[in-house]
Structure 1
Amino acid sequence: MLVHLISLLAPLIGIAAAQCPDYLDYATLKHQPYSEGVRNLSYQRPDPACRTFDLPLLENKIIPHVMHAVPDPDLFRLFLNAYPNTLDTAVRWKGYAADSADEELTFLVTGDIDAMWLRDSANQMQSYLPLLTANSSVDSLASLFRGVINLQARYLLTSPYCNAFQPPVESGIAPAQNPSASEDHVFPTYNNSSVFECKYELDSLAAFLQISSDYYNATGDVAFFGKYHWVEAINHLFEIFETLSAAATYEPDGRVQNSSYTFTRVSNRATETLSNDGLGNPYRGETGLLRSAFRPSDDATIYQYLIPANMMLAHYLEATAPIMLALNGSTCSVTSAQMIQLAATIRRGIAEYGIVTIGGKQVYAYEVDGYGSANIMDDANIPSLLSAPFLGYLDVNDEVYQNTRALLLSDRNPYFMRGPVISAVGGPHNGPGYAWPMASIVRILTSDNDTEITEQLGMILNSTDGLGLIHESINTFNQTDYTRQWFSWANGLFGQMILDLQDRKPQILAQSFQ
Structure 2
Amino acid sequence: MNIKEVLQKADEVIEDQKLREMFKKCFMSTLETSVKVDGEKTYIITGDINAMWLRDSSCQVHHYLSLMKDDSDLQNKVKGLIKSQVDYILLDPYANAFLNTEDVEREYHDTTIMKPYVWERKFELDSLCYPVQLAYLYLKETNDDTIFDKQYLHFIQTILDVFETEQYHSQKSSYTFERDMAKVWNLRKTETLQNHGHGFDTRYTGMIWSAFRPSDDACALNYNIPGNMFCSVILSYLQEIVKDIYHDEYLEERIQDLKFEIDYGIELFGTYLHPKYGKIYAYETDGYGNHVLMDDANVPSLLSLPYLGYCNEDNEIYQNTRCFILSHDNPYYYEGKKAKGIGSPHTWKEYVWPIALTMQALTSTDEQEIQTLIDMIVNNTGDTGYCHESFDVNDDSQYTRPWFCWANSLFAELIMKVYF
Q: Please state which band the TM-score falls in when normalised by the shorter chain.
A: over 0.9
Larger Rg: 1
- Cα deviation for residue 276 of structure 1 reads 0.8
Counterpart of 2:261, as a letter, is T
Aligned residues with identical type, % of pairs: 38
Correspondence list, 1:171-186, <5 A? 175-180=103-108, 183-186=109-112
Paired with 1:235 and 1:334, the residues of 2 have a C-alpha distance of: 12
SS across alignment from 2:288 = coil
Name the residue aligned to 1:11. Answer: none
Paired with 2:110 and 2:59, the residues of 1 have a C-alpha distance of: 27
Tell me: CA distance 1:389–1:233, structure 2 relative to 1, closer, same or farther (3 Å).
same
Deviations 1:215-273 (A, max 9, x none): 1111121232126x2111111111111211233x3xxxxxxx46321111122521101
Name the residue aligned to 1:308. Answer: 226
Q: Structure 1: give runs of 5+ residues left out of the alignment.
A: 1-55, 97-103, 168-172, 250-256, 504-514
Counterpart of 2:143, as a letter, is G
Name the residue aligned to 1:320. Answer: 238
Q: Is the 8 A contact 2:164 2:208 kept in 1?
A: no
Q: How many residues align?
A: 414
Name the residue aligned to 2:191. Answer: 272
Counterpart of 2:347, as a letter, is N
**Counterpart selection for 2:55 from 112, 119, 131:** 119
Q: Structure 2: give runs of 5+ residues left out of the alignment.
A: 182-186
More helix by share: 2
SS across alignment from 1:362 = strand
1:480 aligned to 2:397? yes
SS across alignment from 1:315 = helix
Q: Is the 8 A contact 1:105 1:151 kept in 2?
A: yes
**Counterpart selection for 1:203 from 113, 122, 126:** 126
Paired with 1:464 and 1:221, the residues of 2 have a C-alpha distance of: 38
Deviations 1:452-508 (A, max 9, x none): 1121111101111111000110011111100011111110111111111125xxxxx
Name the residue aligned to 2:145. Answer: 222
Name the residue aligned to 2:216. Answer: 298
Tell me: CA distance 1:392–1:283, structure 2 relative to 1, closer, same or farther (3 Å).
same
**Counterpart selection for 2:177 from 235, 255, 263:** 263
Name the residue aligned to 1:281. Answer: 200
Q: Is the 8 A contact 1:238 1:334 kept in 2?
A: no
- Cα deviation for residue 328 of structure 1 reads 3.0
Paired with 1:211 and 1:334, the residues of 2 have a C-alpha distance of: 24
Paired with 2:208 and 2:102, the residues of 1 have a C-alpha distance of: 35
Q: Is the 8 A contact 1:115 1:166 kept in 2?
A: yes
Name the residue aligned to 1:241. Answer: 163
**Counterpart selection for 2:24 from 80, 93, 100:** 80
1:68 aligned to 2:16? no
1:338 aligned to 2:254? yes
Deviations 1:295-345 (A, max 9, x none): 01000000000001101111011123222122235xx79623332332222
Q: Is the 8 A contact 1:377 1:413 kept in 2?
A: yes
Runs of 4+ in 1 over 4 A off after TM superposition: none
Deviations 1:386-434 (A, max 9, x none): 0010001111110000000000000000001111222110011013111
Q: Is the 8 A contact 2:14 2:20 kept in 1?
A: yes
Name the residue aligned to 2:363. Answer: 446
Name the residue aligned to 1:156. Answer: 89
1:89 aligned to 2:33? yes
Name the residue aligned to 1:469. Answer: 386
Counterpart of 2:46, as a letter, is T
Counterpart of 1:240, as a letter, is V
Counterpart of 2:214, as a letter, is P
Paired with 2:122 and 2:15, the residues of 1 have a C-alpha distance of: 44
Paired with 1:451 and 1:238, the residues of 2 have a C-alpha distance of: 43
Q: Is the 8 A contact 2:176 2:198 kept in 1?
A: yes
Deviations 1:145-165 (A, max 9, x none): 111111111111111101010
What is the root-mean-square deviation of aligned Cα atoms in Å?
1.7
Counterpart of 1:462, as a letter, is N
Paired with 2:16 and 2:105, the residues of 1 have a C-alpha distance of: 42
Q: Is the 8 A contact 2:2 2:68 kept in 1?
A: no
